[in-house]
Structure 1
Amino acid sequence: MFDLSRLDGAVTSEAEPDVLLHRGRPVHEYRDFLAGRAIVVRNDLAAIEISGQDRLTWLHTLSSQHLNQLAAGTPTEALILTANGHITAQLRIIDDGERVLTYVDRAGLSATLEHLQRMVFAARVTITQAPGTVVALAGAAIDAPPLDVTAIWRDPWPHVPGGTTFTPPGVEPEVEPIALALATEEALSDFAATHPEAIAGTWACEAARIASWRPSFASEVDERAIPMELDWLRTAVHLNKGCYAGQETIARVVNLGRPPRRLTLLHLDGGAEHLPAPGSDVSLGAKRVGHVTSSIRHPELGPIALALLKRNTPADAELLVDEVPAKQEIIVSPEGVSAARPETRPGDELRGVRDRGLQKPPTLGGLGKF
């Protein structure tokens, strides 16, 4: 593995020393990255390779996404859920016609591999960790990568066909085009030797991600998280797909609304000396209403953070994070209503009607009268 700590100005993560955070000029690194003049080495990510003729139909049965007819080269995203709809893995998926590459958070790699291998049964698939290093590309570098890479996954956020959103109507995030790809150790070492100035830290990716409301398994997901709280139905759940773990929870909250919590973007007071750490309390007056999931000092927006709040926290309330004032930019609406919610709730035609003596037989779409 290429030693990023040898780069000039390198500041690495204390928890993960092989993860480069920045090189002393985070604003310039952010701008160079988005313009395609720099890449980001994502040692916090890993790739899983799934080969075999059943790879797509098999993944289709396990995940929240419609995958059995996925066209080669089409990027998508899926979640693996528990029976109660809690998130256990995020899969960033690209199929090249012969294999599926799925990018996952390195911290969850072992658990995801173990789960996938446990679910093979009679499926004709082979699952391995893919060799190489994950790199992030943006801007012009996506179409013209500055080093040899394979399995380019263009982040489909904020929309994938078959998804929906819990954001209020007419509101959309501002998104920068970003992609992930696999580079060999040799290609990365050669690139670092010849273009050392063109490697930026992960803060560049994180600034773009947080500003675009983009949830991450490593940051936003806890043991209680369900996709609707994070507005993840935009890209990771197909509403016309059934028969997967967690489907009932998805359908219930889409139809009835009101997820327990809601993701919001917080704009922190610019005078704050320190950014709030993940897990920091978010308060309304003296009452705790949520916690910070991730934060960054954005080159243009200033200090910002994603936070999970109680859903009914007033949208116009000014909150406090570590005694620092914070204003909300709404992602998931406090009303908790999805764009796919039916105009009439399921079963409304039967409410208040006795089992006997119906004045008019109810009509259930496509099934005629009873």
Structure 2
Amino acid sequence: MVDKLPVSPSPLVTAPGAVPAPEGSPDAGVAWHHGDPLGEQRSAERSAVVVDRSHRFVIAISGPERLTWLHTISSQHVAALPDGSSAENLSLDVNGRVEHHFVQTDLDGVTWIDTEADRGPDLLSFLTKMVFWSKAEPRDGNELAVLSVIGPDATAVLDAAGVAAPAEPYAAVAVAGGGFVRRMPWPTADSFDLLVPREGLATWWGRLTAAGAAPAGTWAFEALRVAAVRPRIGLDTDDRTIPHEVRWIGGPAEHGAVHLEKGCYRGQETVARVHNLGKPPRHLVLLHLDGSAEGRPEPGDPVTAGGRAVGRIGTVIDHYELGPIALALVKRSIPTDTELVTGPCAASIDPDSVPVDDAVQAGRAAVDRLRGR
């Protein structure tokens, strides 16, 4: 839960029809929905919507060594990130547990990072402390605010609003008047983040809705994200989460946040050991919840099987087609047909959401060869 907003509440949250996110929500300060949360989800999958995500914390990093420096203290391969490119990235602790998840875009000599509202100040503090002698200058970059345009008509909406939509995931282009637009591979295949000057937030909202995007809240964004089995740090992770458990392994081409072929960084030993020799103890799955139950589980509630805890619940949301769904970290050994309970709800694992991890790791294969197996 968020006790204090590090970014001022959005001016759009008081617009007619906007319903603010619940107090204490990680999305506090922006609209939860605009009167029809399920209809907004349908529009996001059938036409186009715009979602106010201006509560995300933005950091700007300048300096000629910004990329090589960031490369050494994070999990993604970004030392030579081309201008106009983006990547997802992590900061890990010494045991390989996830501390921060962020999206970074390098454009015109500046790296822009956006992350969760409640974690942004800590991430900025960490980056500032890690500069040492490097020619990199991290600072608060909240002069830019995030709007997301989602749906099969998103490109047409952006074009009508005077924005050139990038064709490839993680590509970014500058926007006239300041800011940039980047294409994201989630929560749908047609998703764009538009980072615009914060003082022009209302103007951009009006321009995008006039261009054909229906107003939508974070409820719609979160429902699509959960259905796509994309984790959100702090909701779908805990203080024990390692990247393998929540599908963050891979470079930008794999839409991941941990590159497996890069130099040393904090937490790398755990990443390499699990990748080469072991399996993660848990994995992220989609749960279908019993909609007839009175109430819903809360993030962090245990997931049980036969009265025994086998996981933890993450984001819980109502989807316009799937009904009540949730993400959960569950033990990898739990069969998909296991009857589960979380909070007041019976739950079942969506078998299509279970990652396939039956490949023999390179390190394990090498050990077997040495032993003559």
Residues 1:178 and 2:198 aligned together: no
Paired positions, count:
335
Match of 1:155 among 184, 192, 198: 184
Q: Which amino acid aligns with 1:342?
A: A
- Aligned-partner SS, 1:32: helix
For the residues of structure 2 that align with 1:272 and 1:153, how far apart are their CA atoms?
Answer: 40
Match of 2:219 among 182, 185, 203: 203
The aligned counterpart of 2:3 is none
Q: Which amino acid aligns with 2:283?
A: R
Alignment of 1:251-330 (within 5 A): 251-330=272-351
Which one has a bigger Cα radius of gyration?
A: 1
The aligned counterpart of 2:171 is none
Alignment of 1:200-239 (within 5 A): 200-234=216-250, 235-239=256-260
The aligned counterpart of 1:123 is 134
For the residues of structure 1 that align with 2:241 and 2:148, how far apart are their CA atoms?
Answer: 26
Q: Which amino acid aligns with 2:286?
A: L
The aligned counterpart of 1:170 is none
Q: Which amino acid aligns with 1:54?
A: E
Residues 1:65 and 2:81 aligned together: no
The alignment's TM-score, normalised by the length of structure 1, stands at 0.82
The aligned counterpart of 1:163 is none
C-alpha distance 301-12 of structure 1, shift in aligned 2 (>3 A): same
Residues 1:348 and 2:368 aligned together: yes
For the residues of structure 2 that align with 1:147 and 1:186, how far apart are their CA atoms?
Answer: 18
For the residues of structure 2 that align with 1:141 and 1:218, how far apart are their CA atoms?
Answer: 29
The aligned counterpart of 1:78 is 89
Q: Which amino acid aligns with 2:182?
A: W
Please list the CA deviations of residues 201-247 of structure 1 after superposition, one character each: whole Å capped at 9, or x if unmatched.
10111011100110111312211110011121141111111211111
For the residues of structure 1 that align with 2:122 and 2:61, how far apart are their CA atoms?
Answer: 16
For the residues of structure 2 that align with 1:84 and 1:338, how far apart are their CA atoms?
Answer: 24
For the residues of structure 2 that align with 1:83 and 1:185, how far apart are their CA atoms?
Answer: 36
Match of 1:5 among 14, 22, 34: 14
Please list the CA deviations of residues 67-86 of structure 1 after superposition, one character each: whole Å capped at 9, or x if unmatched.
11212222211111111101
RMSD over aligned Cα atoms: 2.6
The aligned counterpart of 1:31 is 42
C-alpha distance 143-232 of structure 1, shift in aligned 2 (>3 A): farther
The aligned counterpart of 2:5 is none
For the residues of structure 2 that align with 1:344 and 1:282, how far apart are their CA atoms?
Answer: 31
Alignment of 1:104-115 (within 5 A): 104-115=115-126
Question: Is the Cα–Cα contact under 8 Å of residues 231 and 332 in structure 1 kept in the other structure?
Answer: no
For the residues of structure 1 that align with 2:93 and 2:150, how far apart are their CA atoms?
Answer: 33
Please list the CA deviations of residues 285-314 of structure 1 after superposition, one character each: whole Å capped at 9, or x if unmatched.
111211211011111111110011122222
For the residues of structure 1 that align with 2:233 and 2:201, how far apart are their CA atoms?
Answer: 26
Q: Which amino acid aligns with 1:151?
A: F
Question: Is the Cα–Cα contact under 8 Å of residues 257 and 337 in structure 1 kept in the other structure?
Answer: no
Displacement of 1:350 in angstroms is: 3.4
Please list the CA deviations of residues 4-52 of structure 1 after superposition, one character each: whole Å capped at 9, or x if unmatched.
1333152432115412111220122123334553211113312111111
Structure 1 residue runs of 5 or longer lacking an equivalent are 158-173, 354-370
Match of 1:21 among 32, 37, 54: 32
The alignment's TM-score, normalised by the length of structure 2, stands at 0.82
- Aligned-partner SS, 1:56: helix
For the residues of structure 1 that align with 2:112 and 2:358, how far apart are their CA atoms?
Answer: 31
Displacement of 1:147 in angstroms is: 7.5
Structure 2 residue runs of 5 or longer lacking an equivalent are 1-9, 164-174, 251-255
The aligned counterpart of 1:168 is none
For the residues of structure 1 that align with 2:45 and 2:84, how far apart are their CA atoms?
Answer: 22
Percent of aligned pairs with the same residue? 38
For the residues of structure 1 that align with 2:360 and 2:108, how far apart are their CA atoms?
Answer: 32
- Aligned-partner SS, 1:30: helix
Displacement of 1:351 in angstroms is: 3.2
- Aligned-partner SS, 1:117: helix
Match of 2:149 among 126, 137, 142: 137
- Aligned-partner SS, 2:41: helix
For the residues of structure 1 that align with 2:246 and 2:292, how far apart are their CA atoms?
Answer: 28
Displacement of 1:339 in angstroms is: 5.1
